[in-house]
Structure 1
Amino acid sequence: MFSAPLPPDVSKRLQRIVDSVPDLGPESRVMDAREQYGTSSSLGNDPGMRTWVGDVESVPAYQGPFDAAFFNAVFGNVYDQRETLLRAALLLRPGGHIVVSHPEGKAWHERLHAEDPEMVPHVLPDEPELQRLTADLPLRIRSFQNNRNLYLALLQVPPAYLIQGRPLELEGEVVAGFGRGSSKMGVPTANIAPGPLAAKLEGLPLGVYFGWAQLDAGTDEPEEDSEVHKMAMNIGRRPSIEDGTDVTVEVHILHSFAAADFRSKRLRVVVGGFIRPEMRFGSLDELIARIKADVGIAKAQLDLPEHQLCKAHEMFVRNR
């Protein structure tokens, strides 16, 4: 709350910050003091506004999904800027926006940081630093302004979680799978040998992807087992399971196969979407809940026309 009206020029800059988000309107998800609207249920879907007291990392998923997240005049105060952007991105709808802004500008904020580094531990990132912070996140920088009296960065979760450029094509031999993921988490995976894929994996953000998969199940198996199916895939070192150093490519195909072991079979995948980077979770239950959310996202997004195109990719073998 401000004890006096804001100067007109500051009000105009605040309006520019709000207006930076395309299509923000009455139906968009927002939060505010509950006293204005009375007490609402815990479902998070009631008309009006609601508040959340705590770190953005603790906001429960049921409060979202949101159309936009605003960090106005507060981003320098957060403890971990990358983690804040990640957690905010996970609460957004595909195509949703994050706004990092300050109506007095970066230089003004840097003076505040110099005066009280305990209260303001970080400066506002310049564009290269913001690119570094978001390099492995499901976010794109849509615009960046660093004027004398206005700092305004607009980031977006890509619509349909689409990866930039052409889809990622991977093919290899299944070396393991349907083991720990199946017995402990109910998420059976077929793992592709990562060695031959090193060139394609180099520089790729570790994390959860989705797309389409085709397994050469063999002529002794049902024909549908060799068709093209939806899949979610993790490329990484599994930090929540073990402190591994070797990268694995674990593919969870959304299909019930007749056989339980596909080692030495060929597996082809076409990857069109990226959901999140690898994360460390506090418990196995948290990990399982997040994996289920990832699989749900993959199922829904792969029904969209943008991803249906990849199902007919030339990489997949048709004449069976």
Structure 2
Amino acid sequence: MAASVRGTPLAALTRASTHPRARHSAGHRGASSARISRAAPPGADAAATQKAAHVAEITARRDEMVAGCVSCTMPDEGDRGDFLADVALGGRSVEAKGEGSSLRVLVVGAETGKLAKSLMDRGASHVLVIDHSQAMLDRAAELFDPPSTVGNVPCVRFLRTDVSDVKPYEGPFDAVVFNDSLASEHDPADALRRASLLLQPGSTLVISQRLDDVDHTPALPSMDVAAMIADLPLEAAGSAAEGKAMEREGWLAAGASSASAARTEDCCGGSCWTFEVPPLYAMRDAVEMRAKVVSGFGRGSKQMGTPTANMDPTVLAPQLERMRRGVYFGFARLPDDPDNDSWSKCVINVGQRPTFADGDGVTIEVHVMRLMGRDFYGETMECVALGYLRPEMRFKGLRELVGRIMTDIGLARNALDAESMRGAVDGKNSWSAD
């Protein structure tokens, strides 16, 4: 996340306060606007209070934007809406997907609804528009008929919420568009992480950012997009088919390369970054690991119902240099055990357990998706990581964490059924029933 976003006066975070015409029409409060501190909070309560204060001020600013001259505060909205809809859908439509299918898009930042309309006109079946400002949502909704109470009828819906609070059942989405809104989020990097969890393989994520009409600088603070996407399962549109890059020289360099390739100029001179989730969440290069199984914390089976084997990280330093802290999947086996020497599907967590925060150092926890029937401390495990699902994240509690783990296992299980995944280890050994 860019340092330039944190600590920025919120008066600088919306066009209602930066554009000279907006100052006249929306009642600019000037330099006296209070700063909202974005330093790391000492605890969860402080973080919640800080975020609530930020959201309250952003809401007020966005209310002002839509109350005044909208062509001043949100210039070229129609042209930008058409451009972003074309980028987000990339020629896809629900008609092309076939009968009974859907094409769902999440729009973060309502404005006056023109982007949502462009998406529907170009073939989206369902668009969910979220914003902090109810006034802005109400204004955008004026372009549409009320949504049907039947869930599968194509429609546009409007919801006042934060992107981090969008429920998984609302998706998965075929595209997410940050409509000139990401830089004004309380934590842009976290907003991007949460949005990536709502996508599926082949989906598109678009980040747009206007330029100020006066001096042609970003209307919102500049963002270090490369740093924010480095540990997400995203690649520049057009190169995602090759898989997530994990260059040995470092993930930040890989992220910078991907962000540079993803950035284009929109129809009005602003910036637009377009990323895609690689097919099957695949990585460009597999990571092979071989190590002894060591003792862990015992939470996998006792608290979460997902028993794990901890591979000794001290002998896997070269592999860890290539692996971001996060959740991977692939195949694992015990090569010295005739009963368990066949490759089995697995999920791999590489990280420091941020939800529990009860230990130092990196662990490599492997959940094998079949019952092995016994403990195997001290034995050798081989593991091949083929896909990358998400970065390591702190969840609100055990229940949310377990829910996400179950989702990770389901996504991994489906991806590993593909012949391309099995082919990565096929021939090395036989397959187990899983």
Change (3 A) 1:303 1:254: same
Shift of the alpha carbon at 1:285? Answer: 0.8
Change (3 A) 1:283 1:82: same
Q: Aligned partner of 2:288: which letter?
A: E
Shift of the alpha carbon at 1:283? Answer: 1.1
* 1:31 corresponds to: 128
The question of whether the paired residues in 1 share the 8 Å contact of 2:328 and 2:349 is answered with yes
Match 1:17 to one of 84, 88, 91: 84
* 2:234 corresponds to: 139
Kindly report which structure 2 residues correspond to 1:131-170, keeping only aligned pairs within 5 A, or say none.
131-142=226-237, 143-146=262-265, 149-163=269-283, 165-170=284-289
Change (3 A) 1:107 1:230: farther
SS of residue paired to 2:189? helix
Shift of the alpha carbon at 1:280? Answer: 0.8
In structure 2, distance between residues paired with 1:23 and 1:313: 39
1:235 and 2:350 correspond: yes
1:117-162 CA deviation, whole Å, 9 max, x = no partner? xxxxxx142xxx2111111111123321147722111011212111
Match 1:298 to one of 412, 418, 422: 412
In structure 1, distance between residues paired with 2:281 and 2:297: 27
Q: Aligned partner of 1:17: which letter?
A: L
* 2:202 corresponds to: 95
SS of residue paired to 1:31? strand
1:213 and 2:338 correspond: no
Change (3 A) 1:98 1:290: same
Higher mean displacement: 28-37 or 47-56: 28-37
Q: Aligned partner of 2:327: which letter?
A: V
In structure 1, distance between residues paired with 2:75 and 2:311: 60
Higher mean displacement: 24-33 or 131-140: 24-33
* 1:120 corresponds to: none
Higher RCO structure (Cα 8 Å, ≥6 apart): 1
Kindly report which structure 2 residues correspond to 1:191-210, keeping only aligned pairs within 5 A, or say none.
191-210=310-329
CA RMSD of aligned residues (A): 2.9
Shift of the alpha carbon at 1:203? Answer: 4.7
* 1:116 corresponds to: none
Q: Aligned partner of 2:103: which letter?
A: S
Match 2:383 to one of 247, 251, 269: 269
Q: Which has the higher helix share?
A: 2
Q: Aligned partner of 2:157: which letter?
A: R
Change (3 A) 1:179 1:53: same
1:40 and 2:149 correspond: yes
The question of whether the paired residues in 2 share the 8 Å contact of 1:177 and 1:188 is answered with no
Match 1:180 to one of 299, 320, 332: 299
Change (3 A) 1:230 1:279: same
Change (3 A) 1:150 1:198: same
Kindly report which structure 2 residues correspond to 1:99-114, keeping only aligned pairs within 5 A, or say none.
99-104=206-211, 110=217, 112-113=219-220
1:56-76 CA deviation, whole Å, 9 max, x = no partner? 000000000000011112222
In structure 2, distance between residues paired with 1:75 and 1:179: 39
In structure 1, distance between residues paired with 2:272 and 2:294: 48
Shift of the alpha carbon at 1:177? Answer: 5.3
Shift of the alpha carbon at 1:308? Answer: 2.0
Change (3 A) 1:46 1:177: farther
Kindly report which structure 2 residues correspond to 1:243-282, keeping only aligned pairs within 5 A, or say none.
243-258=358-373, 260-282=374-396
Shift of the alpha carbon at 1:97? Answer: 0.9
1:38-83 CA deviation, whole Å, 9 max, x = no partner? 3536xx6543222221100000000000000111122221111111
In structure 1, distance between residues paired with 2:347 and 2:415: 11
In structure 2, distance between residues paired with 1:183 and 1:84: 32
Q: TM-score, normalised by structure 2?
A: 0.62
Percentage identity across paired residues of the two chains: 34
Shift of the alpha carbon at 1:266? Answer: 1.2
SS of residue paired to 1:280? coil
The question of whether the paired residues in 2 share the 8 Å contact of 1:170 and 1:269 is answered with yes
Unaligned runs of 5+ in 1: 114-122
Kindly report which structure 2 residues correspond to 1:121-132, keeping only aligned pairs within 5 A, or say none.
123-125=221-223, 129-132=224-227
